[in-house]
Each structure stands twice: as C-alpha cells, then as structure tokens.
Structure 1
Amino acid sequence: MSRSSKPGGTDHRPTAPADTAPVTPGPVTADDLARAVRLAVALLRTAPGSAWEGRAAGSLAWDCWETVEHLSDDLFAYAAQLGPSTPPLDGAVPFVWRPNRPGGPANAVHADRAAGLLQTLEACGALLVAMVRTTPAEVRAHHVFGNSDPEGFAAMGIVETVVHTHDLAVGLGLDWDPPADVCARVLARLFPDVPAGADPWPTLLWATGRTALPGRPRRTAWRWDGTVRP
C-alpha cells in the first residue's frame, strides 16, 4: 500500500460506529511501530513453512509469500524516504521496484526463497523504527498520500503492518487482533474522516477497504492523509 491502495475484504463483523468518541491520546511513536512489527512477526512464525507460496493472502491478488515481501518493501521504502540529508518532497527515493511475475507486487525488496522470509520483514521493520527514532520531528518527506513527518511514516508503517498481517492471517488461518490503543492512534493520525466510537481495529479494517461496518458498506476506494496537521 505504499504506492497505491489495495483494498481487500473479510467477513469480519465489527460493532457499529457512534458519532463521537475519544481515541487514545498521544502521538504515534517508534515504540508503537516496533510493537506492531514484533507482534506480526511472532504471529506469522506460527504458520507452517509450506503455507507461504500459492496461498492467497485474504482477497489480495498475491500469495502469502508475495504479501510479506510487499510489506517488507513498504517498511523499507518508508525508512528510505527519511534517509537522505534532504529528503525528497516530490517523489520517491529512486530505487527500482520490479515484480517477480506479471501481477505480482513491484518491490525493491525480495526475500531469498531458499533461506526464509520473516527475517526480511523483521529487518525492514527495524530500519523504519530506527529512522523514526533518529529523524528530527521537523523533517518532511514525500508520500503519495501527503508529504509527512517521522510520526506520519511510523503511522503508515503500522497501517501496512497490521492490515497486511490481517490479509495474511486470513490466508493462513490465523487469528490476528492488533493492539486497540495503537490502532486508535493510527486512525487519529491518518484517517481523520472515519467515524469515531467503534472498536479501533474493525474501524481501521473498514477505513482500508477490508470490510463493511453496520450501516457503512465496504469501501471500494480509500486513502489516508499523511500530511502534518497543527
């Protein structure tokens, strides 16, 4: 989802949203991102090694291996955007993103199929955590959904992590329930237009086109707002 939105979907049935409700206060932090990546990797390590290839990740057009590569690539790309001494404001750092097959995700990061997969995800997550921790808050860098600051890139990395782990959990038959407080902070930072008052995790799934909420059909198009607000 780092360069375009890719809706998915499940039969998840969340509670109905209310008109107003408080969210967990405070900014999105590097610790939030590290926690999301750590929990995702721990869950995915419970999947058998034979499950990754040829099994669709939820409603995505990619199998589970490709989806982990895509998630790793998103985290790497966000870290890279913050890396230059003067980050670009009008485009991505010029790595070459290519798919391994027609219809596959266009990545700069590809895991060695003979050596494993999840270390790649863990390492790319650690790169973004480190960049969020060390980049001054006033730095801005390009993203197609709005030029953002380190907090914004942390929030984007969390969305990628928790939502694509959801896609993977559907494909692998695992249960995934990321921390509600982290989801609430991400919703407040990136999705100011979504209804407040419901459980943050189902609301985040709705905001990213994965499911419907009662009275609110599943989104067929969506984007977050990464811009820095006062």
Structure 2
Amino acid sequence: MGDSLVDSGDVRDVVASAVAALRTVADQDWQVPAGDLEWSCWETVEHVADDLFAYAGQLAAEEPPTDRYVPWGYRRSRPVAPALTVYADPEQGTAGLLRVLDASGGLLAAIVQVSPPERRGYHPSGVADGAGFAAMGIVEVLVHLHDVAQTLKFAWSPDPDVVARVLRRLFPDMPAGHDPWPTLLWATGRAELPGHPRRTEWRWYA
C-alpha cells in the first residue's frame, strides 16, 4: 500500500484482536442489546462482518462501481435489526459467528492487499481507495466492539497507533491534544471529550 496510512495488515491485526476478545465471552447471552444500540450483540457482530464483506466487494471487481453499492441482496431479521447480506448460521453458535467475522476480515484484507493503487470504489461518504476501505472496516470493528463490550464486559483497548492512523485517514478535523481511542469514540458519537460534548451526528471522509 506504499505510504498509505492504513493497510491490509492492519485489517488482519484488528480483526484478529476482535475475535480473540469476543472469544472470552462466547458463553454469555449475545441476544441482549449492545451498549446503546437497538441491535443485539449477535446482530452487531454480524453487522461488522457484513460491512467487512461489503467493503471488500466494493473493490473486488475489475471496474468497481463509483456511483452505487454492488447490488448484493439484503434483508432484516426483524424491523430494528441491521440490513445484512451476510448472516451467521445460528446453529453454529458464537463460535460460528466469530468464524464469519474472521473470514469477512480476511476477504477485506486480501482485496486491499491486491487492489491497484488507482482503484476506487463507491461509499456514500466518498469514493475510496483500498486504504480508505481498510480504515472504514477497522473503524467498524473498533467502535462496534466497544458497543458489545459495554454489555458483555470484556477488555477492549485497541492499539493507539492504529487508532491514530485511522483518525488521520478518515477524521482529519478531529480536535488535537487527546489520546486516539477516546478521540475516535467521540468522533463516532460514543463518548464526550473534555471541552467537546458527545456528538449526535457524525461522518467520516472516505
């Protein structure tokens, strides 16, 4: 990825850390809401896997669409659940769900690794290159693991170097002088920062 801020190795490392953290609570009830979300912990992890898969798909074609999503079919399992293409087989339990998350992360990492530097794909927040999709996938993992950890009570403290690079790639207007992880949680509407109230709306720049 040359001088890109975020690369395929970062995707693999972050997903591996997420899977390892989630395995420590695999025997808990994952049908309860994840943090402040309406989604259950199970649905939230499925959403992350689905995003990683979808981001890979946006770059995978020889000529990726730059004006719309690849038209995968999707559905909601209930009215307030996330709209998903990728679902885990519930009969396989949380171990199966974590395999789906791991596999989706591997797909995104592989596509980012082999994508030509000039290749671009559509995202509503801006047409992005491989590093952009890597960064967006990493943010999905980081902040939604935070949501799940609020409920299932496991340790989740991401590598500050990775978080700092993701912030530089996607959130160039962030306030300076704060640690990367609290800043990312503030940037995505999940926490306050000193002098900065919790956001009710936010976006990144793909």
CA shift, 1:49, in A, is 2.6
1:177 equivalenced with 2:157 (yes/no)? yes
1:82 partner amino acid: L
Q: Is the 8 A contact 1:75 1:157 kept in 2?
A: yes
Q: Quick one: distance in 2 between partners of 1:215 and 1:199?
A: 14
Question: Any stretches of 5+ residues in structure 2 without a counterpart?
Answer: none
CA shift, 1:26, in A, is 6.0
Q: Quick one: distance in 2 between partners of 1:69 and 1:26?
A: 28
The corresponding residue for 2:122 is: 142
CA shift, 1:99, in A, is 0.6
Structure-2 change in CA distance of 1:73 and 1:44 (3 Å) = same
Cα displacement string for residues 16-39 of structure 1 (whole angstroms, at most 9, x for unaligned residues): xxxxxxxxx961111111111010
Cα displacement string for residues 116-174 of structure 1 (whole angstroms, at most 9, x for unaligned residues): 31000000000000000000111011001100000000000100011111111111111
1:132 partner amino acid: V
Superposed counterparts of 1:91-130, under 5 Å: 91-115=68-92, 116-130=96-110
The corresponding residue for 2:202 is: 222
Runs of 4+ in structure 1 off by over 6 angstroms are none
CA shift, 1:217, in A, is 0.4
Q: Quick one: distance in 1 between partners of 2:177 and 2:20?
A: 29
Superposed counterparts of 1:33-182, under 5 Å: 33-53=11-31, 55-115=32-92, 116-182=96-162
**How many percent identity over aligned positions?**
56
The structure with more helix, counted as a fraction of residues: 2
Q: Quick one: distance in 2 between partners of 1:122 and 1:52?
A: 18
Q: Which moved more, 1:26-35 or 1:210-219?
A: 26-35
RMSD: 1.1
Q: What is the TM-score normalised by the length of structure 1?
A: 0.85
Cα displacement string for residues 69-125 of structure 1 (whole angstroms, at most 9, x for unaligned residues): 000000000000001110000000000121111110000001100013100000000
Q: What is the TM-score normalised by the length of structure 2?
A: 0.95
Question: Any stretches of 5+ residues in structure 1 without a counterpart?
Answer: 1-24
The corresponding residue for 1:27 is: 5
Partner-residue secondary structure (3-state), 2:91: coil
Q: Quick one: distance in 2 between partners of 1:49 and 1:66?
A: 16
Higher relative contact order at CA 8 Å, sep ≥6: structure 1 or structure 2?
Answer: 1
Q: Quick one: distance in 2 between partners of 1:105 and 1:157?
A: 16
Q: Quick one: distance in 1 between partners of 2:10 and 2:141?
A: 11
Aligned residues, how many?
201
